Structure 1
Amino acid sequence: MKLADIRIDYTLKSLDEKEVTISPIDQFRKWVEEANQSKVHEWNAMNLSTVRPDGKPNSRIVLLKDVDTGLVFFTNYNSAKGKELENNPFAAITFFWPVLERQVRFIGKVSKITPKESDDYYFSRPFASQVGAWASPQSEVIPDRAYLEAKEEELIKKVNQDSITRPEHWGGYRLIPEEVEFWQGRSSRLHDRIHYQKMEDDSWKIERLAP
């Protein structure tokens, strides 16, 4: 197998700037609904890119947990991504849904959501996940897997579903988009790319980009 020989001709759908909504969030919700109806596996998995203090980009997959005025996700505030967002509160998010031959990219500013919003989501999680937020010193070097399992076991002996609290170092972020691009795969690599740019009056400028 040669990597250079791997190619797929995208023919499933098209995307026209005259057909999209005036709000990229509304357009994203439409695509999310289609992804959900099409049973796209983990359609809410997204590549979150932040910037390290040395200027180098850093990416990882996290899960989208809400779409309101922006995109909401949760993590350990002391993790690498948390520290990077504290240093530089701008990030990029990318979704790729190969079943629908679609990609969506967001760029915007990230801020913490309210403690109540973080509490509401934290206590909706399974108890094991709640314990995990306490047990894992995310992004830190640990000696081995046994270290994590021992921390988990120790915590389970101390707390139960009624007594556990949300760690102050764990909670949610919301990315408010400033740029959004919707990508629809097309034949001959002549893909459709519709770009939204937020203007000073909070309206959106919609343009087609060359593939």
Structure 2
Amino acid sequence: MDVTLGAARLADGEVADAVVRVDWTEHQRRLACGLTAVTDLHALDRLLTFPLHELVSWPDLTPDDARVLKALPEGAVEFTETGVRRVFAPAADVDVVIARASRWQTGLRKAAAFAPFARRVLLLPRAPRALHSRLWEADMLGVGVRIGTLTEFDEVLPPAPWKRRFVKAAGWRFRERAYAAWRSAQPTQCERPALVSPRP
């Protein structure tokens, strides 16, 4: 489980660490065309109205649609004589947000703020007094509790399952920011490691 530092970012500036899962097909496509992350909320909101890989004819676009799409970086959409096609899809997802804190209430508040986007865990360096009498509060919020470090910890309470109920631009931007953080943390062009050895 690799943790990307600072990968979970909210609009209000709250930042936490995250386990980021990359869609390698979309990542490779973006590498090939030089596209990184798109975090403009208005652009993402507009892109959500276009089906992935389906051609939308020019007469079906409003002037504002055309303006927004033409302003997107290369690799987000394909323009043809007859219309436009969205080829841009989320390149990453966040499996779990890890809110590190030294104080229970501060950390719990921080972890809870990410509820719309992923499973959440509060990571404390040491157990606070009367930890077991406080766990009900984290449990009510669906926040897991770990004691230790990012790499070595005891899980006192697992995080509640999380399921994406709908897709909105804010959620897509959250994923794009996580992808940007993951990508900047990679030492190279971060090509996918081979899963099997090539045949001779």
TM range (shorter): under 0.3
- Name the TM-score, length of structure 2 as normaliser: 0.26
Greater share of helix:
2
- Name the TM-score, length of structure 1 as normaliser: 0.25
Greater share of strand:
1
